[in-house]
């Protein structure tokens, strides 16, 4: 089953030229709020006040470290799922225990 069709598909593009350092800053800011650079840029350009664009890392250093690690884990899981969907096969057997641990941490509020 594919993705549902959007009521208003995005058919127009806005291309920006950035220096390497500008791009890296945008990429870092996007990762810090758990977004892809393209979605982060769209939210900034359109000044969207969605819940995702307002997410900020915690103020204390331990909270920031946990937040950063969970963001990295999320990114890795996304890449794994993409690979499985693209090339077939099944996810690794040890993935489910990891997902259980992540869900437990999120339900405890560690990721907030």
For every residue of 57-93, DSSP letters joined together read --SSHHHHHHHHHHHHHHHHHHHHHHHHHHH-S---T
69/82 Cα distance (integer angstroms): 20
pLDDT (tens place) for every residue of the chain, 112 residues total: 566 677 888 899 889 899 999 999 888 888 877 788 888 888 888 885 544 434 555 677 777 787 778 778 888 888 888 888 888 888 888 888 888 887 787 777 654 4
Provide the pLDDT for residue 19. Answer: 94
Provide the pLDDT for residue 54. Answer: 47
For every residue of 41-54, DSSP letters joined together read HHHHHHT---TGGG
Domain locations along the chain: 17-55, 57-112
pTM reported for the whole predicted model: 0.41
């Amino acid at each position: 089953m594919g993705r549902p069709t959007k009521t208003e598909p995005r058919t127009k593009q806005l291309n920006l030229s950035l220096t390497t350092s500008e791009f890296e800053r945008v990429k870092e800011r996007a990762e810090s709020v758990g977004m892809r650079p393209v979605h982060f840029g769209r939210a900034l350009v359109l000044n969207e006040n969605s819940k995702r664009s307002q997410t900020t890392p915690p103020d204390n250093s331990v909270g920031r470290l946990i937040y950063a690690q969970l963001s990295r884990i999320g990114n890795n899981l996304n890449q794994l799922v993409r690979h499985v969907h693209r090339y077939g096969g099944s996810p690794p057997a040890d993935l489910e225990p990891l997902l259980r641990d992540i869900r437990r941490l999120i339900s405890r509020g560690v990721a907030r």
